[in-house]
Structure 1
Amino acid sequence: MADRSSSRSQPAAPDTEQIRNVVLVGCSGVGKTTLSESLALAAGAVTKAGRVADGTTVSDFEDVEHQQQRSVQLSVLPLDWNGVRINVLDPPGHPDFDAELRAGIRAADAGVFVVSATDPVTAPTRALWREASEAGVPRAIVVSKLDQARESFDDILTLCHDAFGLGPDTLRAVYQPVLADGVPVGSVDLLTGRTYGDVESAPDTAAARESLVEAISGLDDSLMERYLGGEELDTDALFAGLRHEIVDCTLHPALAVTDSGFGSTELLDLIAGSFPDPTHRVGPGPAADPDAPLTAQVIRITGDAYVGRINLVRVFAGTLRPDTHLQVIGADGATEDRLTTLSGPFGKATHPIPEAKAGDVVCVPKVASTRIGDTLADDASADPMPPWPLPAALLPIGVEAHSKADDDKLSQALARLVVEDPALRLEQNPQTHQIVLWCTGEAHAEVTLDRLRTRHGVHVDTVPYRVALRETFGGSASGHGRLVKQSGGHGQYAICDLEVEPLPAGSGFEFAVKIVGGSVPKNFIPSVEKGVRTQLSSGVATGNPLVDVRVTLVDGKAHSVDSSDAAFQTAAALAIKDAAGHTEIRLLEPVAAVRVTLPDDYLGAVLGDLSARRGHVLGTETPEPGTALLRAEVPEIELARYPVDLRSLTHGTAEFARAHLRYDVMPTAVAAKHTGNGHAD
């Protein structure tokens, strides 16, 4: 979370009712990070250069963020405004880092959904709105880049209303922008009539105000009764009604901002005055009572070369204090640990704080037993916070240590990376002997490799991902295995005659005995089976395991002195190899069941792409208007780059899931490419 600590003083822990935890939600390029910096500047937390007093910057945690010109991890800016602590959580907008967004949503009590006035209703924006809606986070809509807009502010809100499928009166401007020569110069608060910025003559906003008041009053019987009775509703009642409807997601207030900072003061006023505090939280967790038993959750983990592990923690109940013992409750039970210091986050920096009350978001350094999603509590028997859903890591990246020195450090570095990044999945395949990092996309893979190098000092080379294949017999065959070595003293003597026949897919391996007359002594029959199993595990043609066969021992010979367990194992293996030379050996490939959810507009392109991947489409459904659910069976070899290609085909709007289904015979032309190296690249 932090690269270094700072001597910058931190105000005392605010009361729970005076905290607002707000997550910025939006796609890459809409200006979320610029907005967070504008808010910090408006709140007096930073200078115009985007720096605090000690010289640290507000954003840009890692060098890779400069390289990719995008945020890659969640940042937190605590701002003090009108006696309220506003924790601004700014996750990345790129879909590869959706895990950071979901962590930010768990830590927040409300969201600011940022759309660009230059292109407000892109497919990725609609998908992101749908995700935020499914998470149930109350949210306002902020239209960024209004000074570059091709449409009016009201027209943009109409586009958003239709694109997001909102009901009547659920999207309303609360600040009406005032333009001069097409450029925003100020705004009018529709509830109070207050003007912001350089407004020489305020426009007539009576109709807009009346529409907003009707929307606020519509779901509150007491307000509606007062309004219909002709009573002039006071601003306190209106703000209370607005907060109630924001919490219930029945109204999404809207306003406009620009990269120059226009609208920042209005947004801070809206958050401080009308956004829910932690006591209004509608998500999981206990009531936000600072005097209750401690319940906090680890939202994210970062590693620092000087401080060590740093946990970003949301306190849901109770009060977190330094120099105390606490219980870390995870999937494997509870572990006691000691909290030595407590810090407040501010961009790259952290600042020592005396305590953190229910509702706050803070940094807990040096507690080494945590994993993301773990609960911190006073008592090991406390109810843990539920985990939040994580995006599936579906893009495999094969890696190898660049040097012997890197190899010595690789395992430990990978283990740390997986702890810090729950969206990353590590696989060490016992068949292909390959280390695979399963990532959410190419940008995620690039960041992962950069962190491996810069944080942990380990250099790796990427290699083609290899899919584990299988072999099987194409027909029945007999094999003869003979091991006879006699050169004085004890020799080696064993002869095996085996019959091998294919079994239906998924049958595995069967061993049978049909010898007569004791040609192979009973005590050596287990040796024959062991030799067969050993040879099947390494295959006979490509180095892949041989499966779905029945092997029958039909004859053999033994020597009273020279036969042994090892000799019969070797003879059995030779017999399997001999049988393989008398029939076709087929290569089997894994097939995955694939589900793709996508907009109808892209269905044709996706169907064509799956056909090119040797996929078999089972059918399509329409779970909701404009959306298609496609089911198919696709060879796993063809899915290695599918997450990247699907995102390109559908402009980031499709989702897919995969699950291993079975092994099928690989077509001869495809198998010919893999008979030389033993694995599928």
Structure 2
Amino acid sequence: MSQTSTDISRIRNVTLLAHGGGGATTLAETLFFNSGVIHKRGAVEEGNTVLRSEPEEISHGLTISPQVGHFDWKDVHVNLVDTPGYIDFIEHTRAVLNVVGGAVLVYSGVSGVRTENARFWNMVQEAMVPAIGFINKMDKSRADFIRVLGEIEQDLEVTTLPVTIPIGQGEDFEGIVDLIPMTAWSAKDGKFSQMDAIPESVQDDVEYYRMQLIEKIVESDDALLEAYLEDETPPTEEQMIEALKESVLTRRILPIFCGSGDANIGVRALANGIASYLPSPVDKASIKPLVGVDPNNREQEIARTPSSEDPFSAVVFKTSVDPFSGKLSIVRVFSGVLEADKPFLNGTRDEKEKGGHLYRLEGKEMTQVDRLEAGQIGAIARLAHTHTGDTLCDPNAPIHYHRVRYQDPVFTYAVDVEANSEEKVSNGFMKLCEEDPTLRFYRDTETRDMILAGMGPTHLSITLERLERKYGAKAELKAPKVPYHETIRAACRVQGKLKKQSGGRGQFGDCWIEVEPLERGTGFEFEDKIVGGVIPRNFIPSVEKGIRDSMDKGAVAGFPVVDIKVRLVDGSHHSVDSSDNAFRTAGSMAFRKALEEGGSVLLEPVMAMEISVPDETMGDVIGDMNSRRGKITGVTPRGSDQTIHCETPMAEVLDYGNQLNAMTSGRGIYTMRMASYQEVPSHIARKVLEDK
């Protein structure tokens, strides 16, 4: 169970970022194989790779949550995190980028830069994570190194610098040339070995890219530049590696490697690149210092150093919940030492945790250890109060690191279940939300629907599969009810009067109110303008309560009434027959009259949307949005994509994701948020009433 310490300067915490089908899981498998972690490579198609263990991942052939493994390469220990590449799941990457030191951006040599790659690049830039690139699948038909290299530069607006280049491509791909040591490597006949000389067929490319490499490197170092300009002395191999690492850490250059994870070509050179160019926790802290805040005073910043000598602090970046074995919290230790079964503080929630068993992870395989030190990644079992994104720390030195903010889920559906299984389904979804921070489950207060919101149709479909497998609960999804509202068009003055006498004490309440519409989104305002005691002070709250009761159901279709101001201006009372209930009823009566006289109208929610699509599909998407009563407010170019800004009624985009996927062949993505409520056109209002 014991574990030897690793010099923190020799740790690399690295994530693989590739679009769905980009080959990141196979690439990770090959890295594990080359380093001796496994003795036989698994295959994604056979469901036996190290970093794909969930049954849904295996059956669908995609990664749905971050998976952790580790390997040693030369004198460096690499913690590797494979992240989802399918568009519905890539928001998980934000949590991973918050804890790793570097990233390997994987591009397909066939399909080039896709929308997911652009989103990964933006996330990497926002998180200030140094990166290197790998053009994968160079052995596949139609692979084109130069084309993809150009797409990376143009679409991502980054300066690339090839470090390895291919010998052939497609069916003719047989190896790589490493431009720093100037060695050629062949993989003919299934054997990977160094070639005696660089093939004549790539000599021109080698000379061009080698010269580009040298020039870019010397430009970053005054001493190297001076020596190069004076007597054309090229930098040594060690100088090139050191200068290139500095350019990676400062994110000025994206070094590019190439090869095939499947054929195991160029993967060793990539491992060398991870070890040589990506930062250790100490390097990363020099770029982006470890700074949090005092949990008891969020205005007070606190710094930590990536050292085992500092007080313990860590961040949970993934949570796994098993209905039988319990909860597992995956953490990156930023400072100090975490010992097994030793209590600590959740600095985010100010809750004490008892601690638990500690593990190192290799996919689904867990090895129990007695401690986790600064720079390491591991897991803690059975924490009671901790969730993804929380900071764990020494109780005597509390700290809270800023949490990751995820994009809001845009696919929203109502959950349809049998009445006797509602509690079971609800509890299951709550557990799944604990594992998946991009999932939302709640009950809509207006429509009373149970709502499940996710990042896309595949996300929600797989969530239903996991619900049934893990918790034995079944549910179906249907379009949610649109939360319509009602209001009035014109101001009016009305009376509500209750007068009943049926022997004994009667009921009497009389009030006059002035009602006027307010600006959209204002809500409800009540103003007491009674003078002279015509309505006793103790009955005025009852009038307001009666009005609020009536606002729950409007006059048009029974939807909540909003954006109205009511002034209580006059009335009368009876010394014996007046009561709270009488004035509550009078207030309700007056408000119902106001809805009739003020001209009630139906309001619908309008969503502000940003839709990113490839250039060639923009016309179709805009045309479709116009047909949905959408209002285009602008278009912003982003690389080879266009981002369309628009406002569209919610009723028109309840199932928009499926339509967008069809129009863009799965390359379009969108976000939306509630923008405002607007009056429903009369012909649409009639249809709403018919359907209600």
TM-score range, shorter chain: 0.7 to 0.9
Residues 327 and 227 (structure 1 numbering): CA distance in 2 closer, same or farther, change over 3 Å? farther
Counterparts of residues 43-82 of structure 1 (less than 5 Å)? 43-48=35-40, 50=42, 57-82=49-74
Structure 2 match to 1:269? 272
Find the partner of 1:634 among 632, 641, 648.
648
- 1:634 partner letter: T
Shifted more, 562-571 versus 430-439: the winner is: 562-571
The answer on 1:436 being equivalent to 2:451 is yes
From 169, 174, 177, give the equivalent of 1:185: 174
Alpha-carbon distance change, 113 to 280 in structure 1, aligned in 2, over 3 angstroms: same
SS at match of 2:557: coil
The one of 161, 170, 176 equivalent to 1:171 is 161
Residue 357 of structure 2 corresponds to which residue in structure 1? 341
Contact persistence 1:496–1:575 (CA under 8 A): no
Look up the equivalent residue of 1:608 and give its one-letter code.
Answer: G
Deviation at 1:14, TM superposition (A): 2.1
Change (3 A) 1:355 1:83: farther
2:320·2:328 contact (CA, 8 Å) conserved in 1? yes
Give yes or no for contact 2:166–2:259 (8 Å, CA) kept in 1: yes
Label 1:156 to 1:190 Cα distance change in 2 as closer, same or farther (>3 A). same
- 1:216 aligns to what? 217
Task: State the alpha-carbon separation in 2 of the partners of residues 240 and 549 from structure 1.
Answer: 67
Q: Is the 8 A contact 2:101 2:280 kept in 1?
A: yes
Task: Report the CA distance shift for 1:579/1:316 in structure 2 as closer, same or farther (over 3 A).
Answer: closer
Query: Any idea what SS the aligned residue of 1:436 has?
Result: strand
Greater CA drift, 84-93 or 447-456? 447-456
2:11 to 16, 19, 28: 19
- Say what the alpha-carbon RMSD is for the aligned residues: 3.5
- Change beyond 3 A, Cα 1:669–1:562: same
Letter in 2 for 1:436: I
CA shift in 2, pair 1:515/1:45, >3 Å: same
Task: Indicate which of 379, 394, 403 corresponds to 1:387.
Answer: 403
Q: Distance in 1 between matches of 2:76 and 2:93?
A: 24
Q: Which moved more, 1:207-216 or 1:383-392?
A: 207-216
Matches within 5 A, 1:147-546: 147-167=139-159, 170-174=160-164, 176-179=165-168, 182-196=171-185, 197-198=192-193, 201-204=196-199, 207=207, 208-228=209-229, 229=231, 231=233, 233-249=235-251, 250-281=253-284, 282-285=287-290, 286-330=304-348, 332=349, 334-379=350-395, 381-404=397-420, 406-474=421-489, 476=492, 484=500, 486=502, 493-494=507-508, 501-506=515-520, 508-510=524-526, 526-546=541-561
Q: C-alpha displacement at 1:346, in angstroms?
A: 0.7
Distance 2:541 2:258 in 1: 78
State the 1:218 CA deviation.
Answer: 2.8
Q: Once the 2 structures are TM-superposed, how far is the Cα of residue 90 of structure 1 from its aligned partner?
A: 0.5
Distance 1:463 1:426 in 2: 14
Q: Given the two structures, how large is their TM-score scaled by the length of structure 2?
A: 0.84
Q: How does 1:666-677 map to 2 (within 5 A)?
A: 666-675=680-689
Amino acid at match of 1:254: F
CA contact (8 A) 2:310 2:336 kept: yes
Q: Deviation at 1:382?
A: 3.8
Letter in 2 for 1:669: H
1-structure distance, mates of 2:332, 2:548:
53
What is the one-letter code of the residue matched to 2:51? S
Q: Residue 412 of structure 2 contacts residue 451 of structure 2 at CA under 8 Å; is this kept in 1?
A: yes
Q: Structure 1: which amino acid aligns with 2:380? A: V
Amino acid at match of 2:469: T
Question: Structure 2 matches for 1:113-124, cutoff 5 A?
Answer: 113-124=105-116
**How far does residue 351 in structure 1 lie from its aligned partner after superposition?**
0.9
> Does the aligned pair in 2 maintain the 1:35–1:259 contact within 8 Å?
yes
> Aligned equivalents of 1:255 and 1:67: distance in 2?
29
Moved more, 523-532 or 662-671: 523-532
Secondary structure of residue in 2 paired with 1:673 = helix
Superposition deviation, residue 561 in structure 1: 6.1
- Displacement of 1:49: 5.2
Aligned 1:73-92 pairs, distance under 5 A: 73-92=65-84
Give the Cα–Cα distance (whole angstroms) in 1 for the partners of residues 281 and 257 of structure 2. 22
Percentage identity across paired residues of the two chains: 28
> Aligned partners of 1:517, 1:234: CA distance in 2, in Å?
95
Measure, in 2, the Cα distance between the counterparts of 1:92 and 1:256: 21
CA deviation profile, 1:236-289 (whole Å, cap 9, x unmatched) = 333222322222222413221241322222222332344322221134524322
- Residue 603 of structure 2 aligns to which amino acid in structure 1? L
Q: Find the aligned partners of 1:158 and 1:595 in 2 and give their Cα distance.
A: 27
Change (3 A) 1:260 1:536: same
Say if 1:580 and 1:39 are closer, same or farther in 2 by CA, change over 3 A.
same
Task: String of CA shifts for 1:563-613, please: whole Å, max 9, x gaps.
Answer: 543344345434544665667432122334445566655543343233222
Correspondent of 2:117 among 107, 114, 125: 125
Q: CA deviation at 1:675?
A: 2.6
**Contact 2:10–2:76 (Cα < 8 Å) also in 1:** yes
Change (3 A) 1:124 1:662: closer
Post-superposition offset of 1:155: 4.8
**For structure 1, which segment, 650-659 or 349-358, has the greater mean C-alpha deviation from structure 2 after superposition?**
650-659
Distance 1:516 1:295 in 2: 65
One-letter amino acid of the counterpart of residue 269, structure 2 = E
Task: Give 1:23 deviation, angstroms.
Answer: 0.9
- Cα deviation digits, residues 357-406 of structure 1 (max 9, x gap): 222211112122212222222145544222233222122121244342x3
Q: Provide the C-alpha distance between the structure 1 equivalents of 2:71 and 2:415, rounded to a whole number of angstroms.
A: 42
With over 3 angstroms needed to count, the CA separation of the structure-2 counterparts of 1:517 and 1:247, relative to structure 1, is closer
Q: Secondary structure at 1:466's aligned position in 2?
A: coil
What is the alpha-carbon distance in structure 2 between the residues aligned to residue 138 and residue 552 of structure 1? 61
Aligned equivalent of 1:610:
625
Deviation of residue 29 (structure 1)?
0.8
Stretches of structure 1 that go unaligned for 5 or more consecutive residues are: 1-8
Deviation per CA, 1:62-120: give whole Å up to 9, x if none.
Answer: 22223332110111111122232112211010122122222222222111111111111
Which residue does the alignment assign to 1:4? Answer: none
Contact persistence 2:514–2:566 (CA under 8 A): yes
Q: Which moved more, 1:426-435 or 1:620-629?
A: 620-629
Question: Residues 158 and 56 from structure 1, CA distance in 2 versus in 1: closer, same or farther, beyond 3 angstroms?
Answer: closer
What CA distance in whole angstroms lies between the structure 1 residues aligned with 2:423 and 2:649? 35
1:241 aligned partner, one-letter code: A
Q: C-alpha distance in 1, partners of 2:637/2:110?
A: 31
Q: Identify if the C-alpha distance between structure 1 residues 554 and 347 changes in structure 2 by more than 3 Å, giving closer, same or farther.
A: closer
| 2:294 equivalent in structure 1 | none
Structure number with the bigger relative contact order (C-alpha 8 A, sep ≥ 6) is 1
How many residues are paired up? 657
In 1: Cα distance, 2:387 partner to 2:103 partner: 25
Does the Cα contact within 8 Å between 2:218 and 2:235 map onto a contact in 1? Answer: no
* Structure-2 change in CA distance of 1:578 and 1:296 (3 Å): closer
> Shift of residue 121 of structure 1?
2.9
User: CA separation of 1:192/1:497 partners in 2, compared to 1, >3 Å: closer, same or farther?
Assistant: closer
Say whether the 8 Å CA contact 2:137–2:262 is kept in structure 1.
Answer: yes
1:56 touches 1:348 (CA, 8 Å); kept in 2? no
